[in-house]
Structures are given as C-alpha cells and as structure tokens.
Amino acid sequence: MMLVAILLFSSASILFSDGIGIYVPDRNGYRTQDGSVYTQEENTCASSIYKQGSILSIKADDGSDVLVYVNDIAEMPPDRQILLNTKAAEELEIADKGFDNREVSIVLEGEDEESATGWSKFKIALFETSRDALDAYKLLTASGFKATATPVENGIELYVRYIPQYQVSTVSSVLKGMGYNNIMLMAEENPYS
C-alpha cells in the first residue's frame, strides 16, 4: 500500500490554480512565438509562466482534464497566466465567461532551449517606392509576421520584428523562402518588458 502511494505521488504533476483567459477571436493566421500559425484545430495557449512546448492539463467543471499545448507568449493582466484558444476555452466551458480560475498541472514541461532568452529583428529590404513597401508589408503580415516600415532618406526600410532568439534560424529560412535573401539580423527590445 505504501509503495503504491509513493508511486502515485512521484508520478503526479505539481498542481497550480491559475487565472485563465481566452485569446481575442481575431487571432487566426497570427504567427505564434514557436513559429506555428494560430489555429482553432488544436488546443493551444499562450502563457506568461509556463515554458513553450509544455503540455498542460486544465481541470474542467465536470472533473475531466483538457490538455493544451503552450505555443505562444502574450501580454496579459497580472491575474492571468494562460490565454486559451477558443476551441480549448469552449471545451473548458469558459468561452462565454472570458476568464476563470482553474486547476492546472504540468503533464510535460517544455525544453529549456525552447525558452531561450533574447529578441531579434530582421531588416528585410530597402524599398524605393511606397507601393512596393506596402505590398511586401501586406505579404509579411498576412504570413503572421510582425512587420514594420520606417521611412528613410532614400526609401522605406521594412523590418520583421519581435523574434525570440530560439526562432531566428527558422524565421530566417522562411524569409529566404519568400525571396528575401539579403536580410540583416539585428538586436531587438523585449516586447514584454
């Protein structure tokens, strides 16, 4: 009996009571911090305290567990640690409430390298005309990137901003696949500080 209790205790995850909210409804197509595109097909969430790549179990009102995958970081009020996508919020029956406190346990903790610190941005190109810059800006934002344009003396510089350190090589490959071969990596400010 004692051995069974020890085994159960050692395999149990640490439990937390977390404030949980939901993403705003218009997030479809947004590129999350792990490089994936936000979708309603899977249970995903953003978190301010759990590592990316973690799988969390959140207790529903009926006692069942809903599993969610942490694939994003988001600014949130101090009373919230998790923002669910709509699918997960509906499964937990908090979509109409918008906020609730729930029991959360870590099923699988994300790897440390997935939470590498530091932020970068890419200078994409210098465009001579506003039309070319606007077309490129629209394509980048439609692809889920956080693009910004800056007027300079000889045209308009376009940037992809707020790239976490562990995503630099992935984003670089995607941008090169989009035809941007002369991108320049630069340091970026932390958007959450």
pLDDT digits (tens, 9 = 90+) for 45-54: 888 788 878 8
pLDDT band for position 38 (cuts 50, 70, 90):
confident
Asked whether the predicted pLDDT for residue 181 surpasses 90, the reply is no
The answer for residues whose C-beta is within 8 angstroms of residue 93's C-beta and 6 or more apart is 60, 61
List the alpha helices (DSSP H) in the chain. 2-11, 86-91, 130-142, 168-177
Q: In the structure, what pLDDT confidence band is assigned to residue 16 with cuts at 50, 70 and 90?
A: very low
Per residue in 96-115, pLDDT (tens digit) is 887 888 999 888 877 644 44
Q: What is the pTM of this model?
A: 0.52
**The pLDDT of residue 171:** 87
